[in-house]
C-alpha cells in the first residue's frame, strides 16, 4: 500500500525499488509497493583518536587528533540531464535526486538498512573513518621529520586534511573540522619531555637573565630618576629660598616705607595741630589786641567828647605805647611761633627715632606753652584794664583841673608852662634861625605892583597879606591838632589885622 514519507530536518530518505534505477535521495516522497525507504541522518560526528606514529628519524610519538566528519550535503549533483532538462518519476510527483555524495553515503549504509540497532551502524562507520584517518596520518608522518612537523604545524594540518578528505570522498563524507593537538611522548619515550625540559630551562635561564637585566635597568633608572629628583628638589628648594628671601626683603622694604610714611604722617598731623594751635593763639592775641584797641578808641572818643586835650594827647601817647606794646607782643608771638616751628621741626626729626616719646614731649610742651600763653594774655589783659582805669582816673582828674583853670585852653597852657613847652619852643626857634641873616624881598605881580606911592604901599600890602594868612593857618592848626593859640596872643593879632585893613581902606578912599 502506498504511503507518504517525510524526513526530519537532519535526515534524508533513501528510496530503492520499482521505478528507481539506483537510489533516490529526497526529503519527502510517496513510497509505493515494491519500494524500500530508509532514513539516514546527516549530522556530523566527532572522531577522537590518539595516533601512535613514527617520523623519518624513527622517533615515535602520540598524535592526539579530533575530526568532525559527516555526509557532504552540498555535493548532491545537479538532478539534471546533460541537456539540463528535469527528470521526473513515473508517477510525476517527485524528482530523482542524482547527488553523488549522499548517494554514496546511502549505499555505504545500505547493508544496515534493515537493522534496528543504529549503534552498530555508527560503529561500522566509525571503524571505516578511523581506519582512513590513522592510515593517512601514519603515511604522512613517516615522510616528515620532527622539526618539519613542529615548524610547519599549519602545513602539516593542511596535508592531513587533504589526504584524508581524498579518501573520504568515495564514501560521500566531508571533514568539517580537524583539530591536531599537542604531540606527546609514546610509552617509554622521553623526547618531548626532554625538549620541554630543555626549553623550560632555557626559558628559565633567559627569563632570569632578562629579569636581571630588567632589574639592572630598573635600578640604574631608579637611581638616575632619584638623582634627578633630588637635583630638581634641591634646585626648587634653592629657588624657593631665594624667592622667599627676595619676598622678605621686599616686605621689609615695604614695612620700612610704611613706617616712614606713618612717621611722616604723624609728624605732619602733629605739626598741623601745633600750627593750628599757634594760629588759634595768634588769632586770640589779635582779637584781644583789637578789643583793647577798640576799648582804647572808645575811651579816646569819650575823652575827646569832653574836649580834654591832655587826655587826648595822653590817649594818643598811650595808643602809641599800646601799638608799640602790641607790636612787641606780635614780635614776641612771631618769635615764639618761629621758635615753636623750629621746635616742631626738631620734634618731627626726633619722631623718626622715637615717635611716641617725642609726641608726648611735644604735647606736654604745647600744653605748657598754651597754659603760659593763656596766663600771659590774662595778665596782659589785667594790666591793660588797670592802665585803662588809670587813664580814666587821670582823664577825670584832668577834666576837673580844666574846669578849675577855666577850660581846656587854660589846662593846656598850664601843662605847657609846667612842662616848659614854651621855653623849649623858643629855644628850638632860636636854634633854627641862629646865625641866619635873612633878607626879605617882596614881589608883587598883581594890581598892587608899581604905581604912585609905590614902595610904602607895597610893603603895607605885603604885611597885610601875611597877617591875613595867619588866622586861617591857626584855624587849620586848631582843626588838625586841637591846639588853640593863647587869647592874649591871638586876640592881639586880630586888632592889628583890623588896623591894617582900615588903613588900607582909608588910603584907597583918599586916592579916589
- DSSP per-residue string spanning 222-250: HHHHHHHHHHHHHHHHHHHHHHHHHHHHH
Residues 6+ apart with CB under 8 A from 503: 460
pLDDT in tens, 83-133: 343 444 433 334 444 456 888 888 887 655 445 455 566 677 888 888 888
Which value, to the nearest 10 degrees, does the dihedral of the CA atoms of residues 237, 240, 241, 246 take?
170
pLDDT the model gives residue 430: 77
Q: How far is it, in rounded angstroms, from Cα 39 to Cα 116?
A: 12
**Residue 490 in this model has a pLDDT that exceeds 50:** yes
Confidence of residue 423 (pLDDT cuts 50, 70, 90): confident
**Residue 153 in this model has a pLDDT that exceeds 80:** no
**Residue 235 in this model has a pLDDT that exceeds 80:** yes
Instruction: Please state the separation of Cα 352 from the chain's center in Å.
Output: 34
Q: How far is it, in rounded angstroms, from Cα 490 to Cα 298?
A: 33
pLDDT the model gives residue 116: 47
Q: How far is it, in rounded angstroms, from Cα 220 to Cα 344?
A: 76
**Residue 209 in this model has a pLDDT that exceeds 60:** yes
Residue 189: CB atoms within 10 Å: 14
**Residue 406 in this model has a pLDDT that exceeds 50:** yes
* Cell numbers placing 486: 593863647
37 by DSSP, 3-state: which? strand
**Residue 147 in this model has a pLDDT that exceeds 60:** yes
Which value, to the nearest 10 degrees, does the dihedral of the CA atoms of residues 238, 239, 240, 242 take?
90
| Beta strands 45-54; 60-71: pairing state | antiparallel
pLDDT the model gives residue 94: 43
pLDDT the model gives residue 493: 53
Q: How far is it, in rounded angstroms, from Cα 312 to Cα 304?
A: 6
Where is pLDDT greater, at 498 or 180? 180
Mean pLDDT of 426-448: 69
109-128 CB burial, b ≥16 within 10 A, e <16: beebeeeeeeeebeeebeee
Query: Is the overall model pTM greater than 0.75, yes or no?
Result: no
pLDDT the model gives residue 221: 85
Which value, to the nearest 10 degrees, does the dihedral of the CA atoms of residues 397, 403, 405, 407 take?
110
Q: How far is it, in rounded angstroms, from Cα 370 to Cα 278?
A: 9
Backbone phi and psi for residue 272, each to the nearest 5 degrees, phi listed first: -60, -40
- Most confident segment among 176-180, 252-256, 412-416, 508-512: 252-256
Give the bridge partners for 173, in sequence order: 71
Between 379-388, 390-399, 435-444, the lowest mean confidence (pLDDT) is in 435-444
Specify the CATH number of the domain 3-79+92-189.
Answer: 3.30.479.30
**Residue 487 in this model has a pLDDT that exceeds 60:** no
Going 427 to 432 to 436 to 441, the CA torsion angle's sign is negative
Instruction: Please state the separation of Cα 504 from the chain's center in Å.
Output: 111
438 by DSSP, 3-state: which? coil
Backbone phi and psi for residue 109, each to the nearest 5 degrees, phi listed first: -95, 5
Residues 6+ apart with CB under 8 A from 32: 2, 17, 18, 19, 91
User: Which residue is associated with the grid cell 630543555?
Assistant: 198
Q: How far is it, in rounded angstroms, from Cα 79 to Cα 72?
A: 16
pLDDT the model gives residue 86: 40
Between 238-247, 286-295, 463-472, the lowest mean confidence (pLDDT) is in 463-472
pLDDT the model gives residue 443: 64
Residue 491: CB atoms within 10 Å: 10
Q: What percent of the chain has pLDDT over 70?
A: 72
pLDDT the model gives residue 84: 40
pLDDT the model gives residue 46: 87
Between 66-70, 123-127, 342-346, 482-486, the lowest mean confidence (pLDDT) is in 482-486
Q: How far is it, in rounded angstroms, from Cα 212 to Cα 218?
A: 9
Q: How far is it, in rounded angstroms, from Cα 298 to Cα 304?
A: 10
Cα angle: 195, vertex 199, 200; to 5 degrees: 115
Closest listed residue to residue 447, CA positions, set 401, 508, 489, 389: 508
pLDDT the model gives residue 292: 83
**Residue 501 in this model has a pLDDT that exceeds 80:** no
**Residue 37 in this model has a pLDDT that exceeds 50:** yes
**Residue 30 in this model has a pLDDT that exceeds 60:** yes
Q: How far is it, in rounded angstroms, from Cα 214 to Cα 460?
A: 155
pLDDT the model gives residue 93: 37
- Most confident segment among 88-92, 283-287, 505-509: 283-287
Amino acid at each position: 500500500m502506498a504511503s507518504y514519507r517525510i524526513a526530519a530536518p537532519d535526515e534524508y530518505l533513501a528510496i530503492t525499488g520499482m521505478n528507481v534505477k539506483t537510489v533516490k535521495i529526497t526529503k519527502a516522497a510517496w513510497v509505493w509497493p515494491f519500494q524500500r525507504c530508509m532514513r539516514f541522518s546527516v549530522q556530523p560526528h566527532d572522531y577522537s583518536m590518539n595516533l601512535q606514529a613514527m617520523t623519518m628519524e624513527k622517533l615515535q610519538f602520540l598524535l592526539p587528533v579530533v575530526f568532525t566528519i559527516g555526509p557532504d550535503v552540498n555535493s548532491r549533483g545537479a538532478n539534471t540531464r546533460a541537456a539540463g532538462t528535469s527528470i521526473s518519476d513515473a508517477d510525476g510527483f517527485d524528482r530523482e535526486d542524482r547527488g553523488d555524495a549522499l548517494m554514496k553515503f546511502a549505499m555505504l549504509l545500505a547493508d544496515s538498512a534493515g537493522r534496528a540497532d543504529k549503534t552498530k551502524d555508527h560503529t561500522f562507520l566509525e571503524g571505516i573513518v578511523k581506519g582512513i584517518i590513522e592510515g593517512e596520518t601514519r603515511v604522512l608522518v613517516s615522510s616528515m621529520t620532527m622539526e618539519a612537523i613542529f615548524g610547519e604545524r599549519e602545513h602539516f594540518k593542511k596535508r592531513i586534511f587533504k589526504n584524508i578528505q581524498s579518501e573520504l570522498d568515495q564514501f560521500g563524507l566531508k571533514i568539517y573540522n580537524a583539530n591536531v593537538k599537542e604531540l606527546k611522548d609514546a610509552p617509554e619515550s622521553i623526547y618531548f619531555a626532554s625538549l620541554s625540559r630543555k626549553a623550560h630551562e632555557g626559558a628559565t635561564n633567559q627569563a632570569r637573565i632578562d629579569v636581571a637585566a630588567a632589574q639592572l635597568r630598573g635600578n640604574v633608572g631608579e637611581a638616575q630618576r632619584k638623582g634627578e629628583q633630588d637635583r630638581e628638589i634641591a634646585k626648587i628648594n634653592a629657588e624657593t629660598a631665594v624667592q622667599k628671601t627676595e619676598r622678605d626683603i621686599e616686605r621689609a622694604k615695604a614695612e620700612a616705607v610704611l613706617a616712614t610714611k606713618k612717621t611722616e604722617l604723624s609728624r605732619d598731623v602733629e605739626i598741623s595741630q601745633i600750627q593750628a594751635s599757634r594760629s588759634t593763639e595768634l588769632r586770640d592775641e589779635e582779637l584781644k589786641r583789637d578789643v583793647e584797641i577798640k576799648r582804647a578808641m572808645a575811651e579816646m572818643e569819650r575823652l575827646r567828647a569832653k574836649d580834654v586835650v591832655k587826655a587826648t594827647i595822653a590817649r594818643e601817647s598811650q595808643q602809641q605805647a599800646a601799638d608799640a606794646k602790641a607790636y612787641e607782643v606780635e614780635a614776641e608771638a612771631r618769635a615764639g611761633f618761629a621758635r615753636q616751628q623750629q621746635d616742631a621741626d626738631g620734634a618731627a626729626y626726633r619722631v623718626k627715632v622715637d615717635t611716641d616719646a617725642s609726641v608726648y614731649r611735644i604735647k606736654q610742651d604745647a600744653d605748657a606753652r598754651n597754659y603760659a600763653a593763656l596766663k600771659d594774655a590774662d595778665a596782659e589783659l589785667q594790666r591793660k584794664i588797670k592802665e585803662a582805669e588809670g587813664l580814666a582816673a587821670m582823664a577825670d582828674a584832668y577834666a576837673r583841673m580844666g574846669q578849675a583853670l577855666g577850660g581846656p585852653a587854660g589846662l593846656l597852657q598850664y601843662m605847657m608852662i609846667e612842662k616848659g613847652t614854651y621855653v623849649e619852643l623858643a629855644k628850638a626857634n632860636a636854634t633854627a634861625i641862629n646865625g641866619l641873616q635873612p633878607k626879605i624881598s617882596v614881589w608883587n605881580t598883581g594890581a598892587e605892583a608899581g604905581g604912585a606911592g609905590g614902595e610904602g604901599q607895597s610893603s603895607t600890602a605885603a604885611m597885610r597879606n601875611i597877617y591875613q594868612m595867619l588866622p586861617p593857618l591857626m584855624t587849620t592848626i586848631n582843626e588838625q591838632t586841637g591846639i588853640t593859640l593863647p587869647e592874649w596872643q591871638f586876640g592881639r593879632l586880630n586888632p592889628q589885622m583890623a588896623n591894617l585893613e582900615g588903613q588900607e581902606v582909608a588910603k584907597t578912599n583918599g586916592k579916589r
